[in-house]
């Protein structure tokens, strides 16, 4: 058995990566496609990251880097290079307040979760919001409308949109392809001499007769992993390297595959970051490689094929596959046999796993796999009607529902599972049986259509009907849908248990700092908390004396607020707030006040 100890080194990464890329793209080692001196830092403080490029997030790869702002908003944000503001977005979620700057070199920089814009953009957007009578707006200014110079202040950092805390989200995109590119390739001063950490790797018995055996070096006992099963091999640091903690021998028969749990770190930050490259070799040749240099936003949901989705749901761990699922077309891979190792009896395979961050810091480990004879008989194939192929459309008609999925709904073939059960007991009404559509442990890519029959639904509730997703605890969450032809139909992106239910209750409107007759002369804003208990907020409208006024919306806090700007005349006024949910239920609060 080979020694599993590996050292951690720091090669000169950019010279190698960029020169190879430039040679392929331009036919010579010059020019550098990502020059170090083109973009400058968008902030005037040290660049410490709370999020890295292509870091794994729920259903997507992270499109940029998240730069810490010392725990608060209000740092000046600067244009990273000369250019023009080509897009402006204001949203209660997502990127919140965001600016997009196009540059003469064909790239675009993005600045998101901003607190507020600098002039003249701030006034331009406020005028647009009043013109459209909407807080959420989007604009694509002409090239000559908002020109900016490098290091010109364009905004202040903030916490707007779907932000978990104050920071600046910063991206660099290739405008020719709209692909985000790793900003760290452009030479920003981000201190990092810390290698990634590797916690454990996973072994998968991929074939119908595959088998893996793991020996515990303490007890001497063997654990067997059968067809379709998987198991972790824990790792520890020892004598400057990384070794298997309890397992000292791995035996296998038939097709097997691997995955690894790893995170990166850098100086000044304890946040879990993503790696840049993963290499898995067998006997010195590449079995699998992934390089997270760039990706397309229309491919970002394939993250659920890149990782072990079931493991993420079960334990919260991000395990990155060292093999490519059949329905995963991401171009970031290089592999032999899609990373599947077909183990033959009598052979010993030497495997090396390396993980590298974008600054060239590496961590690696080694292990052997001994080939043994297989002893698992070939199982009988499942009935063809139950097999849902990843690259073919699939329809299943039950007595109380219809399921239709287009090609590309899955990343791998499955044997379709289904069932009909009694609806859960609880406060939410149910007008159908509980319909089970496979398992939530299997990720869904393209949306499928589910129609559930609801003959007991009263006619007066049809416009309030929706599907509800039933959790393992019996709670019900909104799954969308509309009534048509005796069924409620919705377009879904998750498997699970569903019922037909209704939403007849309007949103709640809770005043936070205003009450009837209150003198607001010494108050700079009006604040409400708006919530909906099922289908969610669809729209809101605030008026003072019958005139629309701007209420900013922070969806993560369910908060809306109107800032007095001096235009309201002194005297008595009437505020009216109207909020509507996604099933058309509307609530209204009218509050007289003085200012």
Q: pLDDT tens for residues 569-579?
A: 999 999 999 99
518-545 pLDDT tens trace: 999 999 999 999 999 999 999 999 999 9
Tell which wins on pLDDT, 270 or 414: 414
Q: Is the pLDDT of residue 28 over 70?
A: no
Q: Is the pLDDT of residue 32 over 90?
A: no
- Residue 188 CA to residue 186 CA, distance in Å, equals 6
Domain range list for the chain: 34-186, 197-371, 384-502, 508-594
Q: Which of 22-31, 80-89, 132-141, 380-389 has the lowest mean pLDDT?
A: 22-31
pLDDT at 12: 40
pLDDT at 3: 42
Average pLDDT over residues 265-280: 93
- Residue 105 CA to residue 81 CA, distance in Å, equals 10
Q: Is the pLDDT of residue 20 over 80?
A: no
461-479 pLDDT tens trace: 999 999 999 999 999 999 9
344-387 pLDDT tens trace: 999 999 999 999 999 999 999 999 999 999 989 999 999 999 99
Q: What percent of the chain clears pLDDT 70, i.e. is strictly above it?
A: 95
CATH class, range 384-502: mainly beta
> What are the angstrom distances between the C-alpha of 450 and each of 261, 301, 475?
35, 21, 20
Cis preceding linkage at 289, omega within 30: no
pLDDT at 267: 87
- Residue 145 CA to residue 143 CA, distance in Å, equals 6
pLDDT at 401: 98
pLDDT at 9: 44
Count of beta carbons in the 10 Å neighbourhood of residue 334: 14
180-207 pLDDT tens trace: 999 999 999 999 999 999 999 999 999 9
Which of 331, 263, 231, 235 minimizes the C-alpha distance to 291? 331
Q: Is the pLDDT of residue 17 over 80?
A: no
Q: Is the pLDDT of residue 11 over 90?
A: no
Q: Is the pLDDT of residue 25 over 70?
A: no
- At 21, is the pLDDT very low, low, confident or very high (cuts 50, 70, 90)? very low
Q: What is the DSSP string of 516-552?
A: TTEE-TT-SEEEEEEE-SSS-EEEEEEEETTEE---E
373-424 pLDDT tens trace: 998 999 999 999 999 999 999 999 999 999 999 999 999 999 999 999 999 9
Asked if 502 and 429 touch (Cβ cutoff 8 Å), the reply is yes
CATH number of 508-594: 2.60.40.1220
In whole angstroms, what separates CA 233 from the centre of its chain?
27
Asked if 19 and 371 touch (Cβ cutoff 8 Å), the reply is no
- Residue 433 CA to residue 312 CA, distance in Å, equals 29
Provide the mean pLDDT of the chain: 94
Please list, in sequence order, all residues whose beta carbon lies within 8 angstroms of the beta carbon of residue 408, skipping any fewer than 6 positions away. Answer: 327, 390, 391, 445, 446
Tell which wins on pLDDT, 3 or 39: 39
The fold adopted by the segment(s) 34-186 is Glucose Permease (Domain IIA) (2.70.70)
Residues in a beta bridge with 214: 223, 250
- Global pTM value: 0.92
In whole angstroms, what separates CA 449 from the centre of its chain?
23
- DSSP assignment letter at 455: T
Residues in a beta bridge with 267: none
pLDDT at 513: 97
290-325 pLDDT tens trace: 999 999 999 999 999 999 999 999 999 999 999 999
pLDDT at 543: 98
Q: Is 555 helix (H, G, I), strand (E, B) or coil?
A: helix
Average pLDDT over residues 130-139: 98
Count of beta carbons in the 10 Å neighbourhood of residue 378: 9
H/E stretch holding 205: strand 197-205
pLDDT at 30: 54
């Amino acid at each position: 058995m080979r020694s599993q100890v590996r050292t951690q080194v720091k090669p000169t990464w950019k010279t190698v990566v960029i020169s190879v890329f430039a040679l392929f793209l331009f036919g010579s080692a010059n020019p550098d496609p990502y020059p170090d001196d083109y973009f400058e830092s968008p902030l005037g403080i040290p660049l410490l990251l709370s999020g890295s490029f292509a870091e794994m997030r729920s259903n997507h790869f992270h499109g940029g880097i998240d730069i810490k702002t010392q725990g608060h908003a209000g740092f000046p944000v600067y244009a990273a290079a000369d250019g023009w503001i080509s897009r402006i977005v204001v949203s209660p979620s997502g990127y919140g307040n965001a600016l997009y700057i196009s540059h003469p070199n064909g790239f675009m920089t993005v600045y998101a979760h901003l607190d507020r814009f600098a002039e003249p953009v701030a006034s331009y957007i406020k005028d647009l919001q009043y013109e459209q009578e909407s807080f959420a707006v989007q604009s694509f200014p002409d090239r000559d409308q908002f020109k900016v110079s490098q290091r010109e202040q364009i905004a202040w950092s903030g916490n707007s949109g779907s932000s978990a805390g104050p920071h600046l989200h910063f991206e660099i995109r290739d405008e020719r392809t709209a692909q985000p590119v790793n900003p760290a390739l452009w030479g920003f001063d981000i201190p990092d001499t810390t290698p990634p950490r590797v916690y454990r790797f996973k072994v998968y018995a991929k074939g119908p007769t595959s088998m893996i055996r793991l020996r515990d070096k303490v007890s001497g006992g063997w654990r067997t992993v059968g067809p379709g099963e998987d198991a972790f091999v824990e790792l520890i640091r020892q004598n400057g390297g990384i070794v298997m903690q309890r397992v000292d021998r791995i035996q296998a028969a038939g097709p097997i595959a691997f995955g690894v749990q790893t995170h990166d770190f850098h100086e000044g930050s304890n946040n879990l970051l993503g790696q840049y490259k993963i290499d898995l070799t067998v006997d010195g040749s590449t079995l699998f490689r992934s390089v997270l240099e760039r990706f397309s936003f229309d491919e970002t949901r394939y993250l659920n094929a890149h990782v072990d989705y079931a493991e993420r749901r079960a334990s919260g761990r991000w395990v990155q596959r060292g093999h490519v699922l059949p329905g995963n077309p991401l171009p970031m891979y290089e592999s032999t046999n899609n990373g599947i190792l077909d183990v033959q009896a009598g052979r010993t395979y030497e495997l090396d796993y390396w993980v590298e961050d974008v600054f060239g810091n590496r961590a690696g480990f080694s292990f052997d796999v001994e080939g043994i004879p297989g002893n698992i008989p070939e199982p009988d194939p499942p009935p063809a009607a139950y097999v849902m192929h990843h690259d073919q459309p699939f329809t299943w008609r039950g007595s109380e529902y219809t399921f239709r999925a287009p090609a590309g709904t899955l990343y791998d073939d499955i044997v379709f599972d289904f069932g009909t059960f009694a609806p859960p007991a609880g406060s939410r009404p149910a007008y159908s049986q509980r319909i089970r559509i496979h398992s939530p442990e299997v990720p869904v890519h393209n949306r499928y259509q589910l129609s559930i029959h609801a003959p007991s639904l009263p006619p007066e509730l049809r416009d309030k009907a929706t599907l509800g997703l039933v959790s393992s605890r019996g709670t019900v969450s909104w799954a969308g849908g509309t009534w048509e032809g005796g069924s409620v139909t919705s377009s879904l992106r998750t498997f699970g248990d569903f019922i037909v239910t209704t939403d007849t209750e309007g949103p709640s409107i809770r005043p936070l700092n205003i009450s009837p007759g209150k003198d607001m002369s010494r108050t700079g804003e009006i604040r409400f908390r708006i919530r909906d208990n099922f289908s969610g907020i669809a729209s809101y409208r605030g008026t003072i004396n019958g005139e629309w006024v701007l209420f900013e919306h922070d969806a993560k806090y369910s908060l809306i607020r109107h800032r007095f700007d001096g235009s309201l005349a002194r005297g008595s006024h009437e505020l009216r707030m109207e909020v509507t949910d996604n099933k058309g239920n509307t609530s209204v609060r009218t509050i007289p006040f003085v200012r």
